Structure 1
Amino acid sequence: MGEIASTLWQLSNRELVAHISASEDKLRRDYAEHLALLAEADARGTAYELGYSNTTALLVHTQNISRREANQRLAHAAALHDAKTPTGAVAEASMPLTAKKLAAGEVCVEQVEVIRKFIGTLDHLEPDKVALAEELMIERAAEDDPNALARYGERWVRDIVDPDGKPPNFDEPQRPERELRRHVYRDGRMQFSGRLDAETSALFDQLLAPFEKNGPDDTRGYAERAGDAFADVLQKAANCPDLPTHNGLKTEVAFTISMDELAKAVDERVLPGTQLTAGEMRRIACDCHVLPAVMGGESKPLDVAVPAYVVPAHIRRGLVLRDHGCAFPGCERPASVCHSHHIRSWLQGGPTALGNLVLLCGHHHRLIHRSEWEVKLVDGVPWFTPPDYVDPERKPRRNHLHRLAAG
């Protein structure tokens, strides 16, 4: 390494990124070897033989790591390696495919943790479904960072392997679980905490989202933006006390499934792309203004082109129905905070039409303009081609997180 470090200044940017990637692969392979050693030590009872109460205590003392870190490593070791039970039987690893990918340097530690936690929620399923879930998560791990991978699991994989979820707990209270605790200080400031049921949580997120957007010069952190957004929503509510009306009109809801299908759906069925049941959605829909959307073949909004740079409302609506949010791979930002990006620049003759537009959040809009990422539409689906320093094969990618919303 010292030899490489002395010549780093000679490397081009792409060569430097290549060395970083190679170093990351080595770290991952070394971690796989580390887990194999931990699994063996735990199976032998090495900690007990050396006078420690458990393997966690041994690691904390010998490796100078936190108990949390030690427990996570041992959890990874247990999930990726076979283990002998006290009776002598062999318990097979719950994540054998992940073990192979880690040993090959193809997944990172955080991705291993995401997959482990997700697989842990599927303990009520048959082994073949659990194996399918791991296979789907590993396939996405090649393109997604840990946060995007976690969202992909919850929004897409779970719908495939566990559409019904765990059996309901009939002892749960019928009344929605909502709590709000608040304390007002002498100077008038308030501190509060609480929790909301799924329906109210979805409403809360949608109300905040339009006010949480940040510009290039915005120095606020996530919590500060959320606080300001909440204050804006309260001001809106004060100005319009008859919520959920808006300027005297009921809330607009655009359904991308047929009204007949919604009407026939079983009350307890959770609708794709939401955390709401059909019964809850019907209750919301009975008090809103439903917007019919004319769709073309394969559920694509009809294209209407106009010679204008600013995207008109009717085209914007069609763009939202098609992309549902930021189309960049792995991004979950909703359509309400996204820009309408001209794939072929308007200044170069690119039309303001659905066939030349894609929804991008501010961060990815800037990335597309400043980097070597490329985007094009294939059968109405935005596909993004990464630079060679991200993927040497430059394999096109798409956003899977909004797929369920498309129906």
Structure 2
Amino acid sequence: MVEELAQADDAVAACVDDAAWALAEDELVAALDAAHRLEQRLAAVTLALVREIDGRGTARAQGASSTAVWLRERLRLTVPAARRLVDLAAALDTGNPGVRAALANGDITVDQARVIADTVATAHTTAGAQAADKAVGVLTDWASQFDPTLLRKLGTRILDHVAPDIADAAAHAALEAEARRASRDRHLTLSTLSDGRLRLTGVLDSETAGLLRAAIDPLTAPNGPDDPRTPGQRRHDALADLCRLTLRTTDLPEHGGDPAQIVVTTSFDALARQLDAGTLDTGFHLTAETVRRLACDATILPAVLNSTGQPLDVGRQRRLITGPLRRALVLRDRGCAFPGCDRPPRWCDAHHIHHWADGGTTNLANAVLLCGHHHRHLHHNDWTVRLAGDGHPEFIPPAWLDPNQIPRRNHYHHRT
């Protein structure tokens, strides 16, 4: 087998260097079909090898805690992907020769094989071996027409075709099986990149997916027709808003004896003069402008150091706009005060109009409520904010936007 796979590898390597642009259109499509078919047949070989390695206990013999962990190191897979590979290999080896043969022939894809194996297992449990055998044939035929997602939906009613007398009872069992699979496959991976950013990957179960969508969808709407953010950037900012809101609650458990918070370390000179200095408690750096913006937020714990590196002020959030002062600010602004914004108070930061690092005081006359988006916007653009004679905030647009720089107000929260 090793020699034959080496020959196949050489053949595929030769194709990599071939000029696809020189193929006629029918040859191009035929080559794509052949490559895809070969990919599925190789997957069948891979699954057979994984099953044998798992059955022999090779992973544990080599010091790994499980075959999935061993595959992660050997093939550089994620553990959830490796676990799904092991599970599918076992499913095809025990009671699914028809599915294994269809994959080996290139008639179905790996994802379709996983759907068919799951569906057939449910059919076997609820209706017996004969119904399961019929289900393999029906689902394999459907696989030539439908993608894995639609195939799974159709599979929830497979017993209507192979055992109609028990289909209703089986539909309930299939729903429960789907719930178990969703619970089994749920995961969230947080991968720290070299520059401090975080890559999120994962699969949410249906309930959690519904919770996330319900929470995040209202926050992803564009801020007007001129919002330059992409949909992905809006979802990113919505997730940040959710995190800020959560940190403002008192319901989170303590972490290491402290309330849930992030810590930013900087020197006072860097903060006051806006030099490029600031470090998260995770060890990654931030610009001083970002630190100044974060310092407005009561969920951030700034640790300000003097010139010798000694802590000057830790726990600065106690001097920010909290308690009765924040309640007074909410009563005055009723939400984000930026013109045209409708975000409610719970989504807002208390921003110092005259920054505290520049000598600004912490009082109602030096504060304004801003949502996360407009808080960032104010710190990174040429807008300015002040309190008018009646004590309400007004915003001065930059000259490039309005040459007359006529002050603007938020009228959304004061319509009633």
TM over 0.5: no
Pick the TM interval, shorter chain.
0.3 to 0.5
Q: TM-score, normalised by structure 1?
A: 0.38
TM-score, scaled to structure 2: 0.37
User: Which has the bigger relative contact order, CA under 8 A and spacing at least 6?
Assistant: 1
Q: Choose between structure 1 and 2: higher helix proportion.
A: 2
